[in-house]
Amino acid sequence: MTKKILVTGGAGFIGSNFIDLLLQDDSFSVTNIDVLTYAGKMENMHSFVQHPNYRFFPIDIANREELNKVFDQNYDAIVHFAAESHVDRSILEPSIFLQTNIIGTNNLLSAVVNGYAEKMIYVSTDEVYGSLREGEPPFTEKSPLAANNPYSASKAGADLLVRAFHKTYSAPVITTRCSNNYGPRQDKEKLISKTIAKAFNDEKIPIYGDGMQIRDWLFVEDHCKALSAVLQNGKVGEVYNIGGGNEQTNLDVVKQVLNSLGKSDTLVEFVEDRKGHDQRYAINWNKINSELGWKPAVSFEEGLKRTIEWYKKNGDPT
């Protein structure tokens, strides 16, 4: 019997990579819901759109009536990626972030409580923990949530809602909080894909403030494998941090991309810092390592090489 998985946001960066991984295994069938915002792209789904174990609904998760259409069958699990995901956009206009990230998550949780899915994995983010100072230990699953911008606040709101549904209704849910992903199919508004796109055209690469903000970078394929481990063996009611063990300043990351492309550092242009910009994220992923045996396998050098190769072959990140 195939395991029926409902993926939300599968036309986006991480969701489409995750569907690729799932469909390598014949024991899974995938239903993908994605409303195709600017971040959701038909070309991200090319590799699996014809797969016999795949179907697609271009539906808004925040629209409960529409959403009901995908519950023409029950699911073994929902893996919930769909979100407005870009911090800068959330600073300009937060409302859609609340609508998709909180109301949409609430709709999916209600479906779980009503018995339409055996469990749900909520893909949250390390940004819900807020910012670390230099020298502070990385966030653990027990660190308090202290979001600092409308995007991370909306993710934290949904993260707490997932927790509340478990405590209140015994909803079978699991939350993952991962660090910054990079890799094939990422929209060019994000740091690494933007740097690649601009460097291809010898355009200036804007860096916020002094570029000394620190992020932990995780190759998307490693993230998808972690989610697969959580899907198959994660414990209901738990939170799992997923990190790359690879903290770097934004400036260093950009310089490495430029170096790999044979371009000069003079393309870097420092611009006014982002409002409420978090200084440092770092994540302790001991729990998923010791309980589920996962650890990141792709080094930053290797992941960057594979990402650049992908963009060279597939054109500018769109």
Ligand X SMILES: NC(=O)c1ccc[n+]([C@@H]2O[C@H](COP(=O)([O-])OP(=O)(O)OC[C@H]3O[C@@H](n4cnc5c(N)ncnc54)[C@H](O)[C@@H]3O)[C@@H](O)[C@H]2O)c1
Query: Applying CB under 6 A, which residues contact ligand X?
Result: 8-9, 11-15, 33-37, 39-40, 60-62, 81-85, 100, 104, 123, 125, 155, 178, 180-181, 187
Give dist(CA 158, CA 152) in Å, integer: 10
For residue 312, give every residue at least 6 positions away whose Cβ sits within 8 Å of its Cβ, in sequence order, or none: none
Minimum distance of ligand X from residue 238's CB (angstroms): 17
8 or 29: whose CB is closer to ligand X? 8
Per-residue DSSP letter, 276 = T
* Residue 266, beta-bridge partner list: none
Distance CA 220, CA 226 (A): 10
**Measured from the CB of residue 143, what is the shortest distance to ligand X in angstroms?**
15
Where in the sequence numbering do the catalytic residues fall?
A: 126-127, 151
**β-sheet bridge partners, residue 7:** 32, 79
Instruction: Give 66-122 as a DSSP string.
Output: HHGGGGGS-BSEEEE------HHHHHH--HHHIIIIIIIHHHHHHHHHTTSBS-EEE
Strand, coil or helix: what is 303? Answer: helix
Quote the CA–CA distance of 262 and 203 in Å, as a whole number.
14
241, 177 Cβ separation under 8 angstroms:
yes
> Residue with structure tokens 């629209």?
63
**183: which residues sit within 8 A by CB, 6+ positions away?**
13, 17, 219, 220, 221, 303, 306, 307, 310
Closest distance to ligand X from the beta carbon of 171 (Å) = 18
As measured in angstroms, the least distance from the Cβ of 254 to ligand X is 16
User: Measured from the CB atom, is 180 or 195 closer to ligand X?
Assistant: 180
Count of C-beta atoms within a 10 Å radius of residue 300: 18
In the bound complex, what is the minimum distance in angstroms from residue 220's beta carbon to ligand X? 8
Beta-bridge mates of residue 79? 7, 121
Show the 3-state SS of 204-232: CEEEECCCCCEEEEEEHHHHHHHHHHHHH
The closest residue (CB) to ligand X is: 12
Q: In the chain, what's the furthest Cα-to-Cα distance?
A: 57
CB of 51 to ligand X, least distance (A): 18
